[in-house]
Amino acid sequence: MDRLGQTKLPDHGWQQHFEIVQELGDCHTQLGEYDQALACYEQAAHLEPDEAGPYVGTGVIALQQGKLDDAEIAFRVALRLDPCSSRALAGQAMIQQQKGRMQEAFDLYLRCLDIDSDNMTALLGLFQVSYQMGSFGRVIEYLNIYLKMHPGDVSVMFCLATLYMKDQQVAAAGQLLRDILELEPQNTDAQDLLEEAEHILAQNTNRR
């Protein structure tokens, strides 16, 4: 209490300052203004040394510049500070994917989605890796979880339909493609894939 007997509230000024600087760095990153962004992240890390955000931001910039080793170091620091940082896990997964280490990328994307099933970067990365590995079960599961939260997301619906086709779940793919065409009747990709699905189903029926 102060001299007047009033309880003093804690001063959150430094934390608020950190959040402003961190958000400013993220804005500069989105605009491709990397020097300004890095200056912001350096200041944010000075203000709050135990926060993972500035290191995630630094890793994102390095990744976008093709500096994979620098990006990997930054994401490792972020994960040491916050092992549940979905953005850092997704960043590490993208690095492993670019290095051709598909199993490592797959495992990291799954860890990311276990923390944040809404992470679109991880979802699309897992889709790409699964497609290359020929392993579809887990990504189908996560895409279905995402669509329950975001029904009508046509891009994700189409990814899922593609995986159903690869996984020989042709009837499920056909239903999903019809749902897409109800939302977007002029979607030629969905029309073409639906024709393929219906052709396969017709052939299977004729063989019985």
Q: Helices marked H in the chain — which ranges?
A: 13-30, 34-47, 53-64, 68-81, 86-98, 102-115, 120-133, 137-149, 154-166, 170-183, 188-207
Q: Using 50, 70 and 90 to split pLDDT, how confident is the model at 203?
A: confident
Residue 12 pLDDT: 44
Q: Using 50, 70 and 90 to split pLDDT, how confident is the model at 205?
A: confident
pTM over 0.95? The answer is no
Beta-carbon neighbour count of residue 71 at 10 Å? 23
The per-residue pLDDT for range 168-198, each reduced to its tens digit, is: 999 999 999 999 999 999 999 999 999 999 9
Evaluate whether 95 touches 125 at the Cβ level (below 8 Å).
Answer: no
Question: ∠ CA(98), CA(115), CA(38), 5° rounding?
Answer: 55
* Domain definitions of the chain by residue range: 151-208
Q: Pick the range with the lowest mean pLDDT from 13-17, 93-97, 143-147, 198-202.
A: 13-17
